[in-house]
Amino acid sequence: GENVEQHPSTLSVQEGDSAVIKCTYSDSASNYFPWYKQELGKRPQLIIDIRSNVGEKKDQRIAVTLNKTAKHFSLHITETQPEDSAVYFCAASDPGGTSYGKLTFGQGTILTVHP
């Protein structure tokens, strides 16, 4: 089955700096890669996703890049703000295969943005 590795496990930055979180996956059939933000005790919230037919996607201060050959994808947050502090999870899915869209998650990255 799919295995997703996420690094780093913790990331501390100063307000205004950029933050990068990286994930690798094992199943070359995976073609959907969402990122979720989870604040303490709350639900994971989808913040951005990418499908394998594109290499990069941007939404304001957030961007995701995908390298299918190397089987890795990354989340980039620019101009970080204290409210970006949360746990970020990457995930991978093979929607067209027998997994029927079930998500395999990375272990999470605790991002702390210091004012």
Partner 1 sequence: DSGVTQTPKHLITATGQRVTLRCSPRSGDLSVYWYQQSLDQGLQFLIQYYNGEERAKGNILERFSAQQFPDLHSELNLSSLELGDSALYFCASSAEGSHDEQFFGPGTRLTVL
Positions that interact with partner 1 (CB under 8 A): 32, 34, 36, 41-46, 49, 89, 91, 95-96, 98-108
- Of 44 and 85, nearer to partner 1 (C-beta) is 44
DSSP state of 93: B
Minimum Å gap between C-beta 86 and partner 1 is: 14
- Of 42 and 114, nearer to partner 1 (C-beta) is 42
The whole-angstrom distance between residue 104's C-alpha and the CA centroid of its chain comes to: 12
- Of 69 and 98, nearer to partner 1 (C-beta) is 98
Q: How far apart are CA 85 and CA 5, in angstroms?
A: 21
Minimum Å gap between C-beta 48 and partner 1 is: 10
Burial class (CB in 10 A: 0-12, 13-18, 19+), 62: middle
